[in-house]
Each structure stands twice: as C-alpha cells, then as structure tokens.
Amino acid sequence: MILRRSFMALAAAGSTLAACAALAQTVHDHRHGFGGAHKWLKVLEDPKRDAWQRPHEVIQALSLKPDAVVADIGAGTGYFATRLAHMLPRGRVCAVDSEPDMVKHLAERATKGGLKNLQAIAAGGRVAIIDFTLESPEGPPKAARVGARQVQAEMEKAGYRLAREHGFLPNQFFLEFTPA
C-alpha cells in the first residue's frame, strides 16, 4: 500500500519518472499481466526503446541530487531503475513492482550488476491516497491541489476501482483503490 503523502516525500521527482515508466511499459492493453519477466525483456529492454524513451535525458531533466532517494513505481524489468542506480551512486533507488517475477528479476539484476543502491520492492495492488481536500484550510496552495473525484477518475482510467472511501479526516480525503 502506498500512502500518497509519504510517497511524495520519498519520490518527489519519481512521480514524473513513474508516469514515464508506466506509459513506456504499456503494450496495447493496460489490463494484461506482466508475469514472466524473461518474456518481457525483449519488449521492455529493447535497445530501440532508447530512441523514443530517451531515458538519459528524462533522468537528467529530473535534476536529482547525487544522494536522492527515488521510487520507480511499476519498475518492470528495471529499465529506468538500473539507469537511476548507475547515475545516483550515493543515492537510493526503490524499484517497486506488484508482479512477483519482476521483483525477483529486479533483485537479481541489482545483485549481478553490483547495484547496492537499488532495492527491489514488492508492492500489492492496493493503493491508498490521502491528500488535502480542495477546501481545506491546511496544506499546499489551493492551485496545487487535486480533488478526490479527479483522483478517482484518473485511477479508474489506470485500471483501478474505488474500494473504500474514509471520511474521518477533517482536512483530507482518504481513498483506497484495488485493481479493477
């Protein structure tokens, strides 16, 4: 489970990276599985991908500090995560995926590549998002906020469904999602 506020502190720059990685790994239909890391290597690690994904430029554009902590959510085979680990030798890269075979592959790849700053993390398909409501007197500037219904719509487009909504927080919404 990822709590958005904690996650954002961990991966302020990683959200852009996660979006890029998620888009890059979408093959025809976002609802298919990613089991069997070995069969996805040809697609996700295809050298031709570098031409349109431009990973080095993406990472440079993030302007990460050398000791940054970055989360690559939906890391797959580690296309971005391994590059980040190489470019941030004093930093830490959390390569997160919900597919057990991908996590195993990532851990093996980190060990074989001597990437001690790359940690493969298994995350379940449940996502919790806690964020400030549009009308809250606390929190970030109102122009920087996203409403609960917009978050729900975006999560549904990404293949999740609202499982539970909690109403006990006075200034924040608390939504739980599971894969649709």
Q: Which DSSP string do the residues of 48-82 spell out, in sequence order? A: THHHHH-HHHHHHHTT--TT-EEEEET-TTTHHHH
Can you give the residue range of the structural domain that contains 143?
Answer: 127-179
pLDDT higher at 114 or 8? 114
Indicate the average pLDDT of the chain.
Answer: 81
CA distances, 6 to each of 1, 3, 12, 54, 91 (Å): 11, 6, 10, 29, 18
- The pLDDT, as a whole number, for residue 17 is 36
SS3 1: coil
Q: How are strands ordered across the β-sheet holding 118-122? A: 69-73, 92-97, 118-122
Q: Report how many domains make up the chain.
A: 2
In whole angstroms, give the CA distance from residue 18 to residue 11: 9
- Residue 4 clears pLDDT 70, i.e. is over it: no
- The pLDDT, as a whole number, for residue 33 is 60
Is residue 81 domain-shared with residue 132, that is, in the same domain? Answer: no
In whole angstroms, give the CA distance from residue 50 to residue 108: 23
pLDDT average, residue stretch 36-63 = 81
Is residue 86 domain-shared with residue 32, that is, in the same domain? Answer: yes
The CATH number given to whatever domain includes residue 44 is 3.40.50.150
Is residue 117 domain-shared with residue 131, that is, in the same domain? Answer: no
Query: What pTM value is reported for the model?
Result: 0.60
12 — pLDDT class (breaks 50, 70, 90) = very low
Rg of the chain, C-alpha, whole Å: 17
Is residue 90 domain-shared with residue 117, that is, in the same domain? Answer: yes
Is residue 117 domain-shared with residue 65, that is, in the same domain? Answer: yes
pLDDT higher at 49 or 7? 49
- Residue 118 clears pLDDT 80, i.e. is over it: yes
Tokens of residue 175, six digits: 């939504």
Is residue 49 domain-shared with residue 136, that is, in the same domain? Answer: no
In whole angstroms, give the CA distance from residue 112 to residue 85: 13
Is residue 91 domain-shared with residue 149, that is, in the same domain? Answer: no
CB-CB contact of 147 with 160 (8 Å): no
Tokens of residue 161, six digits: 């469904």
Strand ranges, E, within the chain = 69-73, 92-97, 118-122, 127-132, 160-166, 172-179
Q: What is the dihedral of CA 75, 79, 80, 82, to 10 degrees?
A: 100
